[in-house]
C-alpha cells in the first residue's frame, strides 16, 4: 500500500453552524480556500451537528476536493471526539442519534454567536436555535461504539489541550476502546508532546487546523498547507478517502 501523491488534508474545520466560527465560514468559502491552498481532503466537523455537510458535499462535487463526512462530538464527560464516516448517509444517521441526545438549551446568539445552516447555493437558510457547543448525553464509550457501528472512525480531538481533551477529562485514553488515531493541536509541537507522553506513541497522530476563520484553513502545526497524508495514516483512512 503506497501513497503515490503528496496528498494534503485538513480534517478539523468548523463551518458557520458552529457558534464559535466566523460567519464567513460557509461551506462554499471553506471549499474555495481549501482548493486555493492546494488541499486534497478536508472534513467539516461542526460541534454536535452535521447540518452543513450535505450542502458542502454538493458544493465540493467535481471540484477536485474530497470531503470526508464528519462531526466533532462532545461526550457526556466533555471530551471532544472527531468522528468520520465513509459515506454521507452514515453521518446523517449518526446525526439523528446526536440530535436526540443533545440537551435543550437555547443558543444565546449575542454571547456564543450565530449557528447558521447554508444550502447548496452557499446561502444562509436557517438558524439552529438549540446551543450546539454542549456536552451530549452520550458517553465516550457510547460514541465510539455508535460511530464504529455505522462504519465510522473516532479520533480524540486536541488530546494535548487543558479543556475538552480525553486526557484532561478522563485522565487517559481507555485502552479497550478502538482508537487508532489521535489529534494533536496545531500550536503544540507533536514531537515534544509525544516525548512527554510516551504511552501515546503507539497511536498514529494527525494535526487538524481546528479552523474557525478562513485564514486558518490548512494551518496544521508546522505545515501551512494541510497535514501530509502519510503511509501510516493512509492505512486507516483509505476507506474514507474514496
Ligand atoms: Zn474541540
Ligand atoms: Zn473543533
> Nearest bound ligand to CA 209?
2
Full-prediction pTM beyond 0.95?
Answer: yes
* Architecture of the domain defined by 8-240: Alpha-Beta Barrel (3.20)
> Nearest bound ligand to CA 70?
2
> Nearest bound ligand to CA 169?
1
CA of residue 242 to ligand 2 center, whole Å: 24
In angstroms, what CA-CA distances link 28 with 21, 77, 207? 15, 33, 23
**Strand 41-44 with 70-74, pairing:** unpaired
Question: Which set of grid coordinates corresponds to residue 166?
Answer: 480525553
> Nearest bound ligand to CA 79?
1
Calculate ∠ Cα 55-38-205, nearest 5°.
Answer: 85
The region that residue 221 occupies, defined by phi over 0 for left and psi between -120 and 50 for alpha, beta otherwise, is: left
Q: Domain residues of the chain, as ranges?
A: 8-240
CA of residue 12 to ligand 2 center, whole Å: 6
Tens digit of pLDDT per residue, the chain (242 long)?
567 688 999 999 999 999 999 999 999 999 999 999 999 999 999 999 999 999 999 999 999 999 999 999 999 999 999 999 999 999 999 999 999 999 999 999 999 999 999 999 999 999 999 999 999 999 999 999 999 999 999 999 999 999 999 999 999 999 888 999 999 999 988 999 999 999 999 999 999 999 999 999 999 988 789 999 989 999 999 999 87
CA of residue 1 to ligand 2 center, whole Å: 31
For residue 157, which of 213, 79, 233 has the smallest C-alpha distance? 79
Residue 153 pairs in a beta bridge with 84
> Nearest bound ligand to CA 158?
1
Amino acid at each position: 500500500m503506497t501513497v503515490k501523491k503528496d496528498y494534503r488534508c485538513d480534517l478539523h474545520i468548523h463551518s458557520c453552524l458552529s457558534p464559535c466560527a466566523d460567519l464567513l465560514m460557509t461551506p462554499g468559502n471553506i471549499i474555495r480556500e481549501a482548493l486555493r491552498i492546494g488541499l486534497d481532503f478536508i472534513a467539516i466537523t461542526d460541534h454536535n451537528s452535521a447540518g452543513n455537510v450535505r450542502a458542502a458535499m454538493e458544493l465540493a462535487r467535481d471540484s477536485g476536493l474530497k470531503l470526508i463526512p464528519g462531526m466533532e462530538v462532545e461526550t457526556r464527560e466533555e471530551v471532544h471526539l472527531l468522528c468520520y464516516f465513509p459515506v454521507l448517509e452514515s453521518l446523517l444517521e449518526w446525526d439523528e442519534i446526536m440530535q436526540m441526545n443533545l440537551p435543550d438549551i437555547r443558543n444565546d446568539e449575542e454571547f456564543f454567536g450565530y449557528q447558521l445552516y447554508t444550502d447548496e447555493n452557499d446561502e444562509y437558510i436557517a438558524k439552529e436555535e438549540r446551543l450546539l457547543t454542549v456536552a451530549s448525553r452520550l458517553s465516550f464509550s457510547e460514541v465510539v461504539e455508535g460511530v464504529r457501528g455505522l462504519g465510522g472512525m473516532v479520533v480524540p480531538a486536541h488530546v494535548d489541550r487543558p479543556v475538552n481533551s480525553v486526557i484532561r477529562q478522563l485522565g487517559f485514553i481507555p485502552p479497550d476502546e478502538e482508537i487508532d488515531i489521535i489529534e494533536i493541536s496545531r500550536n503544540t509541537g507533536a514531537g515534544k508532546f509525544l516525548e512527554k507522553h510516551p504511552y501515546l506513541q503507539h497511536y498514529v497522530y494527525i494535526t487538524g487546523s481546528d479552523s474557525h476563520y478562513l485564514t486558518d484553513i490548512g494551518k496544521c502545526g508546522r505545515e501551512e498547507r494541510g497535514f501530509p497524508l502519510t503511509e501510516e495514516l493512509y492505512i486507516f483512512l483509505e476507506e474514507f478517502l474514496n
